[in-house]
C-alpha cells in the first residue's frame, strides 16, 4: 500500500496499461480483481455505445476500481468522455496529447486522472493541471511518447524529483526479477504491458491477441 494505492483505491501499485484493440472489460476486470488497476482502452473502441457496453460489463465482473484509457490527438473524444462521466467510472488515463481539455470536461466529477508522459516538462504540466498520478513511459515501452528517446530508468528519477504526485514506471519492466530493482531505484509504482501480452496463462489476453493478429490493424500509440 502506498500513495498511489490510497489515491486510486487499489491494493497493489500495478496498472495494466492501455492496449489498443486488446484491453477490454475481461482483461481489465482480471487485473482489478487481482488488486491492481485494470484499464479498458476507449479510443480503439471508438464508438461511445461500445464503450458503454464494456463499462457495464466490467461493473458486472468487478466491484474494484478500474480506469478508461484515452489516446488523444486523433479527433474528438467528447462523446466517449460523455459516457465515462455518465457511467461514473473511477479513473481515466490519457496519452499522446494535451490532457487539459479532457481534465476540463471531468473537473466536476470524482474521476481520478492519470497522465502518460515521456519528459519532465510534460510531467510538471500534468501535475499543474491536476493529475492524480503520472505514468512515465521510457524508450523501452511500445509506443514511446517522447522525442528524445530517453530510457525509462533515466527518466524516472528525473520525474520523481520534479513532481510531488505518485509516479508510475512504464516500459521495460520485464518481469518479477526486474521489478524489485526498479522499485529500489526510486519509483514506487509499475505498469506492465508487454509482460501481460506474453503471458500464456492470461486467457483474455490470449483470446484478444489471437483476434488482434487475425485482423491486422494500424496501431496508433
Ligand atoms: C500493443 C500495444 C498497444 C498499446 N496501446 C496503448 C494505448 O491504447 N494507450 C496507451 O496509453 N498505451 C498503449 N500502449 C503502451 C503501453 O500501455 C505502455 O506504455 C508500454 O507498452 C509500456 O512498456 P512495456 O510494454 O515494456 O511495459 C500500447 C502498447 C502495446 C504493446
**pLDDT tens sequence across 85-141:** 999 999 999 998 899 999 999 999 999 999 999 999 999 999 999 999 999 988 877
Could you tell me the distance, in angstroms and rounded to a whole number, from the CA of residue 89 to the centre of ligand 1?
A: 21
pLDDT value at 39 more than 90:
yes
| Ligand 1 neighbourhood includes 99 CB (under 6 angstroms) | no
Distance 34 CA to ligand 1 centre (A): 20
**Model pLDDT, residue 104:** 94
Can you give the residue range of the structural domain that contains 124? 3-137+154-213
**CB contact set of 151 (below 8 Å; sequence gap of 6+):** 138, 139, 140, 171, 172
For ligand 1, the distance from its centroid to the CA atom of residue 148, given in whole angstroms, is 18
Residue 29, pLDDT score: 95
Q: What does pLDDT average to over the chain? A: 82
Place of cell 479513473: 91
Higher pLDDT, 17 or 220: 17
CA angle 159, 8, 212 (to 5 degrees): 85
User: What separation in Å is there between the alpha carbon of 220 and the centre of ligand 1?
Assistant: 10
Nearest CA to ligand 1 atom 1: 19
Decide: 71 in ligand 1 pocket, CB within 6 A: yes
Residue 60 lies in a domain: yes
Q: What is the pLDDT of residue 204?
A: 52
Closest by CA position to 133, among listed 155, 111, 150, 101: 111
Within a domain: residue 145? no
**Overall number of domains in the chain:** 1
> Does residue 149 fall inside a structural domain?
no
* Domain assignment of residue 147, yes or no: no
Read off the CATH number of the domain in which 71 is found: 3.20.20.70
Distance between Cα 209 and ligand 1 center (Å):
14
Atom of ligand 1 nearest to the CA of 137: 19
Q: Is 221 part of any domain?
A: no
pLDDT of residue 111: 97
Structural domain contains residue 148: no
Query: Nearest C-alpha to atom 7 of ligand 1 is from which residue?
Result: 18
Contact 29, 83 (CB under 8 A): no
pLDDT band at 172 (very low <50, low <70, confident <90, very high): confident
pLDDT (0 to 100) of residue 49 = 95
Amino acid at each position: 500500500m502506498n500513495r498511489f494505492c490510497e489515491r486510486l483505491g487499489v491494493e497493489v501499485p500495478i496498472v495494466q496499461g492501455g492496449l489498443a484493440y486488446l484491453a477490454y472489460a475481461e482483461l481489465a476486470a482480471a487485473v482489478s480483481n487481482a488488486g491492481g488497476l485494470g484499464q479498458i482502452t476507449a479510443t480503439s473502441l471508438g464508438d461511445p455505445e461500445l464503450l458503454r457496453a464494456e463499462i457495464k460489463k466490467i461493473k458486472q465482473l468487478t466491484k474494484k476500481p478500474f480506469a478508461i484509457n484515452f489516446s488523444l490527438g486523433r479527433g474528438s473524444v467528447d462523446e466517449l468522455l460523455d459516457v465515462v462521466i455518465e457511467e461514473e467510472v473511477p479513473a481515466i488515463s490519457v496519452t499522446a496529447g494535451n490532457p487539459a481539455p479532457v481534465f476540463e470536461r471531468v473537473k466536476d466529477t470524482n474521476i481520478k486522472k492519470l497522465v502518460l508522459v515521456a519528459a519532465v516538462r510534460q510531467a510538471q504540466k500534468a501535475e499543474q493541471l491536476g493529475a492524480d498520478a503520472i505514468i512515465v513511459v521510457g524508450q523501452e515501452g511500445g509506443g514511446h511518447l517522447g522525442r528524445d528517446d530517453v530510457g525509462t530508468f533515466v527518466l524516472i528519477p528525473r520525474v520523481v524529483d520534479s513532481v510531488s504526485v505518485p509516479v508510475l514506471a512504464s516500459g521495460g519492466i520485464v518481469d518479477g526479477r526486474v521489478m524489485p530493482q526498479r522499485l529500489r531505484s526510486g519509483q514506487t509504482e509499475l505498469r506492465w504491458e508487454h509482460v501481460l501480452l506474453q503471458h500464456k496463462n492470461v486467457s483474455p489476453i490470449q483470446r484478444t491477441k489471437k483476434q488482434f493478429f487475425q485482423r491486422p490493424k494500424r496501431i496508433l500509440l
